[in-house]
């Protein structure tokens, strides 16, 4: 195992990739402890399915604005400082608010503040990749996922605590723990990194430039983006994944507890199994993906997503085996699709304007995603299966986009070879 390509890649990380990857468990540990229980925590405090969906949609609307500002802020403050400031604002503060939440309004305020993560997502992405070697990208993104998945193995601890102290007190305590850990992670990342080469150039270029002046340049960036089909295909796939994550993150625990009647304290079993499957897949299968064109793996991955949702909505009550089969397929599909999409995002975006192009893509993704929180909440109020039938349609679209993007990429490669 010590000679495994992923282990070798981890040891060889230097500079900013190392400073971003190594501290990631400090975020993943607290997040994985409370994340499976957020929706049922809200329900326990009196929120309805529609209110949960409304919070998701409203915070999504704020994300649209913040994502648009993210490129300008990242360029003016620098990747490193932006990440420090907005990591704390977007994660630590909402965790504290959620820890003392009493009703809908607390969660709405926490959701709105948490929307600031769209700024730090842009700056952190630039900090991670801008000084990295291109052939390291898939390994870097794989290790980001691994870092957060490995800490998923402690998720059963939350289930044990809920069994001992009940749901609400346990989740309040986990949110307080999360606020502390999120702050530590932001500080450690800041200490282990330095401003990227491209970040220094953009800070110098935007020094003395107003935010509105920077926005006036977005017209030409829009035109460049819409003349780059590969970037548009990638954005479409990102949109599919974002909406499906929104639906699953908000309503998976609801369908499992209320329709399949799985006890809340047993929910932690499933993130544990999911993490184990994805890690197994990363170490045994992902190294071979470097040798393949992305088209076939991504199409197969989206088909796997579809099957996982079909099994979920047809699973019998309290049938752990069938539910685990759904989790297995979803986990394998995640391990295939997500790192490849992340690599596509980096490889199809011009380095010089990465921050602002990313901000435009993020805005588009959020803008089209934000209504789906309310839509999924309304659907869940009618029937717990309906949000996941919507997921099936989305993943089908993802398979089509992956195929079309793959065909376009292969045609471009053939054209380049012919031209040479």
Contact 23, 190 (CB under 8 A): no
Residue-level pLDDT at 415: 44
What is the torsional sign of CA 122, 357, 391, 281? negative
Residue-level pLDDT at 102: 94
Residue-level pLDDT at 395: 94
How many CB atoms are closer than 10 A to CB 309? Answer: 26
- Please report, in tens digits, the pLDDT of each residue of the chain (420 residues total): 556 677 887 888 888 999 999 998 899 889 988 988 898 899 999 998 889 888 988 887 888 888 888 888 898 999 999 999 999 999 999 999 999 999 999 999 999 999 999 899 889 988 988 888 777 777 888 888 887 777 667 777 888 898 889 999 999 999 999 999 999 999 999 999 999 998 999 898 888 777 777 666 667 777 767 766 777 888 889 899 989 988 888 788 888 888 888 887 788 788 778 888 888 888 888 777 766 677 788 899 999 999 999 999 998 888 888 999 999 999 999 988 988 888 777 776 766 667 777 778 877 887 788 788 788 888 888 888 899 999 999 999 999 998 888 877 766 654 444 555
Domains of the chain: 13-419 (1.20.1250.20)
pTM for the complete prediction?
0.73
Residue-level pLDDT at 397: 94
Contact 252, 145 (CB under 8 A): no
Residue-level pLDDT at 178: 96
User: How far apart are alpha carbons 84 and 100 in whole angstroms?
Assistant: 25
Task: Name the CA radius of gyration of the chain, rounded.
Answer: 21
Residue-level pLDDT at 164: 87
Nearest to 395 by CA among 333, 327, 325, 328: 333
User: How far apart are alpha carbons 271 and 278 in whole angstroms?
Assistant: 10
Residue-level pLDDT at 351: 64
Contact 10, 144 (CB under 8 A): no
Contact 36, 158 (CB under 8 A): yes
């Amino acid at each position: 195992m010590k000679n495994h390509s992923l282990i070798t890649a981890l040891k060889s990380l230097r500079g900013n990739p190392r400073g971003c990857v190594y501290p990631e468990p400090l975020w993943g540990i607290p997040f994985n402890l409370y994340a499976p229980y957020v929706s049922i925590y809200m329900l326990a405090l009196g929120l309805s399915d529609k209110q949960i969906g409304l919070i998701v949609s409203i915070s999504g609307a704020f994300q649209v604005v913040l994502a648009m500002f993210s490129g300008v802020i990242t360029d003016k403050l620098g990747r490193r400082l932006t990440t420090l400031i907005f990591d704390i604002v977007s994660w630590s503060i909402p965790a504290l608010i959620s820890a003392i939440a009493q009703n809908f309004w607390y969660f709405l305020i926490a959701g709105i503040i948490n929307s600031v993560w769209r700024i730090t997502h842009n700056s952190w992405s630039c900090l991670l990749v801008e000084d990295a070697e291109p052939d390291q990208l898939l390994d870097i993104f794989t290790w980001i996922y691994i870092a957060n998945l490995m800490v998923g193995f402690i998720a059963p601890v939350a289930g044990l605590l809920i069994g001992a102290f009940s749901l609400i007190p346990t989740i309040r305590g986990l949110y307080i723990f999360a606020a502390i850990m999120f702050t530590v992670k932001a500080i450690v990342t800041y200490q282990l990194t330095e401003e990227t080469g491209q970040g220094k150039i953009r800070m110098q270029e935007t020094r003395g430039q107003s935010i509105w002046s920077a926005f006036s340049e977005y017209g030409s960036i829009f035109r460049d983006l819409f003349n780059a089909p590969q970037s548009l295909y990638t954005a479409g796939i990102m949109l599919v994944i974002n909406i499906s994550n929104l639906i699953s993150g908000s309503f998976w625990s609801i369908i499992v507890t209320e329709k399949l009647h799985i006890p809340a304290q047993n929910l932690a079993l499933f993130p544990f199994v999911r993490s184990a499957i994805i890690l197994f897949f990363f170490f045994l299968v992902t190294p071979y993906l470097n040798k393949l064109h992305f088209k076939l793996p991504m199409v197969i991955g989206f088909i796997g997503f579809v099957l996982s949702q079909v099994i979920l909505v047809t699973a019998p009550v309290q049938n752990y085996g069938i539910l685990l089969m759904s989790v297995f397929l979803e986990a394998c599909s995640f391990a295939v699709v997500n790192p490849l999409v992340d690599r596509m995002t980096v490889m199809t975006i011009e380095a010089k304007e990465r921050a602002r192009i990313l901000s435009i893509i993020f805005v588009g993704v959020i803008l089209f995603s934000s209504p789906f929180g309310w839509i999924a909440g309304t659907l869940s109020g009618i029937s717990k299966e309906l949000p996941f039938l919507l997921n099936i349609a989305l993943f089908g679209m993802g398979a089509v986009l992956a195929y079309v993007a793959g065909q376009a990429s292969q045609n471009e490669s053939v054209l380049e070879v012919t031209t040479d």
